[in-house]
Structure 1
Amino acid sequence: MFIVALTYTAPLARIDGYLAAHRAFLAEQYARGLFLMSGRKEPRDGGIIIAHAASRAELDAVLRDDPFHHAGVASYEITEFVPTMTAEALAAFRAG
Structure 2
Amino acid sequence: MFLIMLRFSDNKAAAAEHMQAHNAWIAKGFEDGVFLLTGSIEPKQGGTVLAHNIARAELEMRVDEDPFVASNVVTAQIVEITPGRTDPRLDFLRA
Q: Which amino acid aligns with 2:25?
A: F
Q: Which amino acid aligns with 1:2?
A: F
Structure 1 residues 72-87: aligned runs within 5 Å: 72-87=72-87
Q: Percent of pairs identical after alignment? A: 35
Structure 1 residues 86-95 or 63-72, which shifts more? 86-95
- Per the alignment, residue 28 of structure 1 pairs with 28
| Runs (5+) with no aligned partner, structure 1 | none
Q: Which amino acid aligns with 2:83?
A: P
SS at match of 2:54: coil
Show structure 1 runs of 4+ deviating over 6 A. none
- CA distance in structure 2 between the aligned counterparts of 1:62 and 1:85, rounded to whole angstroms: 28
- Per the alignment, residue 60 of structure 1 pairs with 60
- Per the alignment, residue 42 of structure 1 pairs with 42
TM-score w.r.t. structure 1 length? 0.88
Aligned pair count reads: 95
Please tell me whether the aligned partners of residues 5 and 76 of structure 1 are also in contact (alpha carbons under 8 angstroms): yes
CA distance 1:53–1:59, change in 2 (3 Å): farther
**1:44-64: CA deviations, max 9, x gaps?**
111111000431101001111
- CA distance in structure 2 between the aligned counterparts of 1:19 and 1:63, rounded to whole angstroms: 15
- CA distance in structure 2 between the aligned counterparts of 1:81 and 1:65, rounded to whole angstroms: 22
Please tell me whether the aligned partners of residues 12 and 74 of structure 2 are also in contact (alpha carbons under 8 angstroms): no
Please tell me whether the aligned partners of residues 6 and 47 of structure 2 are also in contact (alpha carbons under 8 angstroms): yes
1:89 aligns with 2:89: yes
Q: Which amino acid aligns with 2:56?
A: R
CA RMSD of aligned residues (A): 1.5
- CA distance in structure 2 between the aligned counterparts of 1:31 and 1:72, rounded to whole angstroms: 25
